[in-house]
Amino acid sequence: MTSPSDPGRLLAALPAQDGPAMARLRERLADQAQREGILDIAYRTLETPVGDLLLAATDEGLVKVAFAVQDHDAVLSHLAGSISPRILNAPRRLDEASRQIDEYFAGRRTRFDLPLDWRLSKGFRRAVLTHLRDIGYGRTESYAQVALAAGSPRAVRAVGTACATNPLPVVVPCHRVVRSDGTAGQYAGGAEAKHFLLNLETAA
């Protein structure tokens, strides 16, 4: 039998949707898990103009942003396997990230100021993603330009892979990387989402 001091198991046993009372209970249990140091990854979903985004954070910072087309359940399963199975729906840890993303989509924010947990990106991919934060709002760079800036001018294809596997899209703006001919190119959230983000920024 699950004991009251085991909030992780209690949360896992609760139905996902059961009204305001259940939501309050989930929140209290998530707070307890945080206090007891057994909440390694908190997550929530956020409604946006490009669909529901899954946001996940560790104690270090935002670790994952995922589009609905990436299958949120699969993303959570991957996080549980690659970082920690102690993962709970605990929205409070994501309050600031949610606020800043809402401001971005409302046209009131041009740069994110959030602690980030980079553990899902290493080596050259990490170098690429670090550079992406230097591409200004409303600007774009080609894959070749990013490869040069990341220190490997010939690694254009590797830049494409780094962008495709970016664990923090929107916040780390891989949507600002386009093909040399100016066309948008591929995007984890889909072509429509990429065009929306580019148009949002150029219209500001």
Query: How do beta strands 53-57 and 62-67 pair?
Result: antiparallel
Domain with 66 in it: 7-105
Query: String of b and e for 130-169 (b: at least 16 CB within 10 Å)?
Result: ebbeebeeeebbbbebbbbbbeeeebbebbbebbeebbbb
Structure tokens at 32: 């307890």
Same domain assignment for residues 152 and 101: no
Residue 59 falls inside a structural domain: yes
Please enumerate in sequence order all residues whose Cβ is within 8 A of that of 3, keeping only pairs 6 or more positions apart, or say none: none
Residue 189 falls inside a structural domain: yes
Report d(CA 200, CA 101) in Å as an integer. 13
Mean residue pLDDT across the chain: 88
The secondary element (H helix, E strand) that includes residue 87 is strand 87-89
Residue 151 falls inside a structural domain: yes
Q: What pLDDT was estimated at residue 182?
A: 86
Q: List, by residue number, the catalytic residues.
A: 174
Domain-terminating residue out of 60, 75, 105 = 105
Please enumerate in sequence order all residues whose Cβ is within 8 A of that of 173, keeping only pairs 6 or more positions apart, or say none: 132, 133, 135, 197
Number of structural domains (the chain) is 2
Q: What pLDDT was estimated at residue 23?
A: 64
Give the tens place of pLDDT for each residue, 112-157. Answer: 999 999 999 999 999 999 999 999 999 999 999 999 999 999 999 9
CA torsion through residues 145, 167, 56, 198, sign: positive
Same domain assignment for residues 24 and 97: yes
Is residue 19 pLDDT above 80, yes or no?
no
Same domain assignment for residues 101 and 155: no
Give the tens place of pLDDT for each residue, 49-103. Answer: 999 999 999 999 999 999 999 999 999 999 999 999 999 998 999 999 999 999 9
Question: Is the model more confident about 168 or about 32?
Answer: 168
Residue 114 falls inside a structural domain: no
Domain containing residue 62: CATH number:
3.30.160
Domain containing residue 198: CATH number:
1.10.10.10
The whole model's pTM is what?
Answer: 0.84
Q: 123-132 vs 156-164: helix axis angle to the nearest 10?
A: 80
